[in-house]
Structure 1
């Protein structure tokens, strides 16, 4: 499972370009690196039926993302540009907030160019090409997600100036990275942090430990999250289309209304929550024992 937030920075890296982009240099990937991709892809794709949301599955089918080789960002960008006007740019890992937001605001998704080592299949400190491409990119074929991500980039710039980025980052975390959604009476996954994680794909839907709660914007923006473990609570959107509401939201009044509100623990269930599953908390209790 990944242990990172997308808002961050590569430790000690000095960028050559102001936008932190680098060449993917697809031809430089080794057979061993392509083999690691295949291992990750094959075991993850087997989990997708009945777990991934339809928008993700549709996107994966329509993009040049397969099992045998690490995808070529240029080919991905060509396919995405035709559908939603997005492109993929290679970066060395996590980038500064302002760089990240500027890329999103201009419909550029910054994707890690490197791939994890074979001993890191289940745990990674930074987002690599598998997390970013397998996890995130298929959802960018969906027009609603495409517009939401651009709006998030624009909103991130404003939130940073207002000193409330922690609030907005929680919206990203509990949707883009670790979001669940209702589909035809079932709960499905659309968050990239889950979809790219072999262990969290099953934990998020099958484990009795976490809470699964109805999505409420202000509640989510008050809720803490785990960056180093499975989530203690997941939030369930009524539909992917509801992301469009957030893309159109004026967040200034929301920030003002939350200014005096305390944070909510990641494990907490409120009396006002719509509860799909009240978790036992057993997994995290065992960690703390």
Structure 2
């Protein structure tokens, strides 16, 4: 089932642009209690001071806590300086509701928790509800965008094939892909190629997985992903580049990837990640024949 033909048109130029890096809000929603409120605020402040101007959240991140915390921390900042994305289709307890009324209520509730207008609204993990998301939920967002009540619309999922369906059959502006395009997994390349052709911006999340952050060359392992991470890390080290640094830089090398999300739950964590982002990766690394072979 595709979207009505009257909403489809050829697109080649990317019409919605995002900052190169953003802060993902899932870890901040999971911080417990009043201390979590304080930690979230200082973490968001540290991200802002590091130059991050894109903030991604959702109702189900901490049952609304992530949205509230972003709203509190960003209320002091000039609204024209940053972009905010949130999600619809999943309630704060994760229950799916992709009905037209559900989408309208969800966005209104998110705006209330944030206390901010939302720039980008994403359908949240449609999964088996993809058909209702296209037939009922997508038209609501399409009309909100056409009325300039939101700037852009898209879909968030961890299945690149599902996202590819929306890129092919609707006029979304963005996809948020959790995993499947990173140094260790490039299975979503066909999706990104379609995004490039359709003018859809891709947001890469989950690029700093445990294999990247917890690599230990001294331990024996038979896990193929861990072995690949070690081999890539060894190549990177020859160029003075750490594996996390390369992992943050890699997705943006595809022209469809407009932003890479960094997940952080503390001031120290976001500062460390921001420091990695500021370090340049030598162009020679990406031309290294051994690395190219590992990425093939």
TM-score (norm 2): 0.27
Normalised by the size of structure 1, how large is the TM-score?
A: 0.28
